[in-house]
């Protein structure tokens, strides 16, 4: 038996053609491009239900995942998308209890994923030079009840941080990531993994040219996501792939 949904619940509406739309459930119901659902319909049916809009469109009511919610959160800068975040999280090897340094808080999208993994005993220290970015990141973290696991700091990575030989991993997303190497050298534990996001080849080249001897190149990837249409009699790749968004570079911190 499905549990009902209260006003303010996040709802993902999945259409039969694979399209999705994210909504907050209100007394006015849910309005989509294929008709609307009343509050009573959605509230009484709950997640995992099959409903029909007033235009006769059959839809599915789902509990949205972090990935689906994060793609819609408030942002001040370009966010790293799930195809990059998911790969980076696996490569960084973080787990519950890990301590992670994030350089470049942005909207807090990546911070949300990091905090959700390291809680309840771990910590994310996220630094940024923009007060506005930190404000937005703080608001977004509060929406997921994750702010207690994140220390947001207004500082430039070149100024250094107080923690020494402390962090298990680092995620770097700033225009000049090579500026973070000095701070990373003292803040990271030996053998810690570092994930760096760079959108252009120019940055990738400059990063390789400025790599200190105590950081060893591990891997660089450009992740392309090709969605497939799955329809009776018409299974084929969709015409538009999610191609280049950013390069991911992975380094390992080695003892000097």
Show me where the domains of the chain are located: 10-64, 68-253
Query: For residues 139 and 160, is the Cβ–Cβ distance under 8 A?
Result: no
- E strands, the chain, are 10-15, 20-24, 30-32, 35-37, 49-52, 58-62, 99-103, 123-128, 150-154, 167-172, 188-198, 215-222, 228-229, 236-237, 247-253
In the prediction, which pLDDT does 255 show?
79
Give residue-wise pLDDT tens across range 82-118. Answer: 889 999 999 999 999 999 999 999 989 899 999 999 9
One fold for 10-64 and 68-253: no
**In which order are the strands placed within the sheet that holds 58-62?**
20-24, 10-15, 58-62, 49-52
Asked if residue 43 lies in contact with residue 24, where contact means CB atoms within 8 angstroms, the answer is no
Q: Average model confidence (pLDDT) for the chain?
A: 91
As a whole number of angstroms, the distance between CA 148 and CA 151 comes to 8
> What's the gap between Cα 155 and its chain centre?
22
Give the pLDDT score at 211: 94
Residue 112's closest CA among 65, 62, 61? Answer: 65
For the cut 80, the answer to whether the pLDDT of residue 75 exceeds it is no
DSSP assigned state of 146: -
Q: Enter the pTM of the model.
A: 0.84
Q: How far is CA 115 from CA 39, 126, 152, 220, 249, in A?
A: 33, 10, 12, 24, 21
Q: How many CB atoms lie within 10 A of CB 212?
A: 15
Q: Which two tokens stand for residue 117?
A: 């993994």
pLDDT band of 244, cuts 50, 70, 90: confident
10-64 sits in which CATH class? alpha beta
Q: For residue 120, how many other CB atoms are within 10 A of its CB? A: 8
pLDDT band at 52 (very low <50, low <70, confident <90, very high): very high
Q: Give residues with Cβ within 8 angstroms of 107, minimum separation 6.
A: 73, 74, 75, 76, 77, 79, 133, 136, 137, 140
* pLDDT tens digits for range 210-238: 999 999 998 999 999 888 988 888 899 98
What does the pLDDT read at residue 234? Answer: 87
| Residues linked to residue 197 through DSSP beta bridges, in sequence order | 248
Asked whether the predicted pLDDT for residue 76 surpasses 60, the reply is no
In this structure, whether the domain defined by 68-253 belongs to CATH 3.40.50.150 is answered with yes
Q: State residue 56's pLDDT score.
A: 94
Give CA angle at 28 (25, 31), nearest 5°.
75
Res. 16 pLDDT band, cuts 50 70 90: confident
């Amino acid at each position: 038996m499905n549990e009902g949904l209260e006003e303010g619940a996040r709802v993902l509406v999945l259409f039969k053609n694979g399209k999705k739309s994210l909504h907050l459930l209100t007394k006015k119901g849910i309005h989509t491009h294929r008709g609307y659902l009343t509050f009573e319909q959605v509230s009484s049916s709950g997640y995992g239900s099959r409903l029909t809009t007033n235009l006769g469109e059959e839809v599915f009511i789902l509990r949205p995942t972090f990935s689906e919610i994060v793609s819609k959160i408030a942002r001040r800068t370009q966010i790293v998308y799930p195809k990059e975040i998911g790969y980076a999280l696996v490569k960084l090897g973080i787990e519950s209890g890990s301590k992670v340094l994030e350089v470049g808080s942005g909207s807090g999208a990546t911070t949300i994923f990091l905090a959700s993994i390291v809680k309840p005993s771990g910590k994310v220290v996220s630094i940024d030079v923009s007060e506005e970015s930190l404000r937005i990141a703080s608001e977004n973290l509060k929406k997921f009840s994750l702010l207690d696991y994140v220390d947001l700091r207004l500082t430039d990575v070149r100024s250094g941080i107080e923690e020494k030989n402390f962090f298990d991993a680092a995620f770097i997303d700033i225009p000049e990531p090579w500026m973070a190497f000095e701070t990373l050298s003292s803040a990271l534990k030996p053998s810690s993994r570092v994930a760096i996001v760079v959108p252009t080849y120019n940055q990738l080249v400059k990063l390789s040219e400025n790599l200190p001897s105590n950081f060893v190149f591990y891997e660089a990837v450009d992740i392309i996501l090709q969605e497939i249409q799955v329809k009776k009699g018409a299974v084929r790749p969709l015409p538009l792939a999610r191609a280049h968004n950013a390069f991911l570079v992975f380094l390992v911190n080695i003892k000097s």
